[in-house]
Structure 1
Amino acid sequence: MTEKALTTAGQDWEEQARNWIAWVREPGFDSYWRYRDAFFALVPPAGRATLDLGCGEGRVSRDLVERGHRVTGIDASPTLLEAARQAHPEGRYLPADSADLPFPDRSFDLVIAYNVLMDVDDLPGTVGEIGRMLEPGGRLCLSITHPITNTGSVRDGLFVLDRPYFGRHRFEAEVERDGMRMKFHGWNHPLSAYTTALEDSGLLVEALREPQVGDDTFPWHMWIRAVRPR
């Protein structure tokens, strides 16, 4: 595969790769550990071939394999891909731009995009590639940070908007906790930006969830399962 320059999102994740590996591999530290079981309840059983889009250091890929999936993981960050390969040497992990995937049409019957689409530089292009990758009857299961999350903040137990909900806005947040530091970058889109991208790619939404886990009083995530009609 010809090596390509990293996108802005790829550069951001490559710069934070070591921090991210430490962050997500600390047991119970990242929110993934709280949401994982409920998210996988939305995911169809293993089929012919599963693509983990934006696999990072491979945590979702490894969990998919444990559930019987035949997984290909792709990511833009070389450091994260190497970490995924080291943790799962028998796996298949490839460098790729999410808006220009190196696979033939209809290569997969399932695509997983866990907390990825709010980070990509080209949302319509990425979802278009997902649509191209899916065979008829194939499904996309995605998690995003809830579209309202990065438009405001919680004050005295109430959520207050700090910026317009509509439009495409860049966000950046640096978080330090228990001696670990992580800088997050991405794009805030309204929900309609995601649903429009799905519509334009020929995908139909069949399930939408705002997960509430434990004592959550605010929807931090949104999950969607979409299908390519037969």
Structure 2
Amino acid sequence: MIHEHPLAYLIGLEGLALLRAHIGEYDRAFVESRIAEVRALLDDPALTGAVDVDRVDTVEGYRAWASTYDQPGNAAFDVDGPVIAELVDPLPPGAALDAACGTGRYARLLADRGHQVIGVDSSPDMLARARARVPAARFEQADLAALPVPDDSVDLVTCGLALTHLPDLAPAIAEFARVLRPGGHLVIADIHPEAVLRGSLPPVRTATGRPGRLATHRHLVGDYLRAALPLGLIPLRCEEPVLPVAEPTGPPPTGTGPWEVWPWSLAAMVPDAKRGANHGVPAMLIWQFRLTDH
């Protein structure tokens, strides 16, 4: 269970901005404005509507999200899509595994480039959409820690926006290394740990209508290396693309907005703190590894 309090989030955002000011990124006027804003937030009687939120596993969560997952507005697609295409374009067509394939976004990209694609996901609802999207690919329901693929059988593994759902990276990355042929490539994109810290946990409604957040874990940059290097996976690229902080188009909202749009509607209430806390912060962490020749 997660206890989400709008005041706690807003003060946390102010605190992140103040910590950056403390190391010299912002001036005295910014600091004094943040402290005054914190005092005003603490006195605001409207900021009392806390919500207890369930932690939801991927099967239940993506059952709720599958029908709207591909709709416009998912900013993550604009961040990872161009980088993933840049990384896989130079690779020759071969056997490719799209692990945690979701609705087949990467599988479509790989199939369009001539790869023979196998897609694996734990969510039957997402797989149904992937099969319709990429009919030439083969899709199977399975867990990332037990891929239904033989050893040394694929030239490329992709995995997008999935490893943050796992409490431990090691089992999945070990499976990726197992199925890759020597010299094969692993391309991973995930929500950056700094973005997770700032509230990037997907909201869903459970089957009973309760608020839920898809299980999300912060994996540090070094966690990927600690899982990959002992397996012979050598990093070739590491990208940390930044999502621009949108400038406000009007006065800050006076209410918190519905829970489904937290924390973004909350952050809009304190636009200067939002910019101060989030400016230049990476939205995503993208890796390319190559498996050494045995």
Query: Given the two structures, how large is their TM-score scaled by the length of structure 2?
Result: 0.61
Decide which of 137, 147, 152 is 1:106's aligned counterpart: 152
Q: 1:47–1:110: 8 Å Cα contact kept in structure 2? A: no
**Counterpart-to-counterpart distance in 1, 2:143 and 2:188:** 17
Partner residue in 2 for 1:65: 111
Partner residue in 2 for 1:31: 76
Decide which of 174, 186, 189 is 2:203's aligned counterpart: 174
Partner residue in 2 for 1:17: 62
CA RMSD of aligned residues (A): 2.6
Q: Deviations over 1:108-145 (max 9, x none)?
A: 11000111111124421110111111111101011111
**Counterpart-to-counterpart distance in 2, 1:49 and 1:70:** 5
**Counterpart-to-counterpart distance in 1, 2:217 and 2:242:** 23
Decide which of 82, 88, 98 is 1:52's aligned counterpart: 98
Partner residue in 2 for 1:156: none
Decide which of 194, 214, 218 is 1:188's aligned counterpart: 218
1:22 counterpart SS class: coil
Structure of higher RCO (CA pairs closer than 8 Å, 6+ residues apart): 2
Matched, 1:91 2:137: yes
Q: For residues 149 and 29 of structure 1, do their structure 2 counterparts lie closer, same or farther at Cα, with a shift above 3 Å needed?
A: closer
Q: CA shift at 1:220, angstroms?
A: 0.5
Q: For residues 63 and 20 of structure 1, do their structure 2 counterparts lie closer, same or farther at Cα, with a shift above 3 Å needed?
A: farther
**Counterpart-to-counterpart distance in 1, 2:74 and 2:147:** 31
Q: Give 1:41's aligned amino acid.
A: E
Query: Given the two structures, how large is their TM-score scaled by the length of structure 1?
Result: 0.77
**Counterpart-to-counterpart distance in 2, 1:217 and 1:99:** 34
Matched, 1:211 2:256: no
**Counterpart-to-counterpart distance in 2, 1:35 and 1:108:** 22
2:66 counterpart SS class: helix
Q: Report the identity percentage.
A: 31
Q: CA shift at 1:172, angstroms?
A: 4.9
Taking the TM superposition and a 5 Å limit, the aligned residue runs for 1:140-179 are 140-152=186-198, 172-174=201-203
Q: Give 1:123's aligned amino acid.
A: L
* Total equivalences in the alignment: 200
* Stretches of structure 1 lacking an aligned partner (at least 5 in a row): 1-8, 154-170
**Counterpart-to-counterpart distance in 1, 2:83 and 2:244:** 12
1:138 counterpart SS class: strand
Partner residue in 1 for 2:288: 225
2:236 counterpart SS class: strand
* Stretches of structure 2 lacking an aligned partner (at least 5 in a row): 1-54, 206-210, 246-278
**Counterpart-to-counterpart distance in 2, 1:69 and 1:20:** 28
**Counterpart-to-counterpart distance in 2, 1:213 and 1:28:** 13
Q: For residues 214 and 69 of structure 1, do their structure 2 counterparts lie closer, same or farther at Cα, with a shift above 3 Å needed?
A: farther
Q: Give 1:220's aligned amino acid.
A: A
**Counterpart-to-counterpart distance in 2, 1:71 and 1:128:** 20
Q: For residues 104 and 35 of structure 1, do their structure 2 counterparts lie closer, same or farther at Cα, with a shift above 3 Å needed?
A: closer
Q: 1:108–1:134: 8 Å Cα contact kept in structure 2? A: yes
Matched, 1:200 2:211: no
- Select the structure of larger CA radius of gyration: 2
Q: Higher strand share goes to which structure?
A: 1
Farther off after superposition, 88-97 or 133-142: 88-97
Q: CA shift at 1:183, angstroms?
A: 3.6
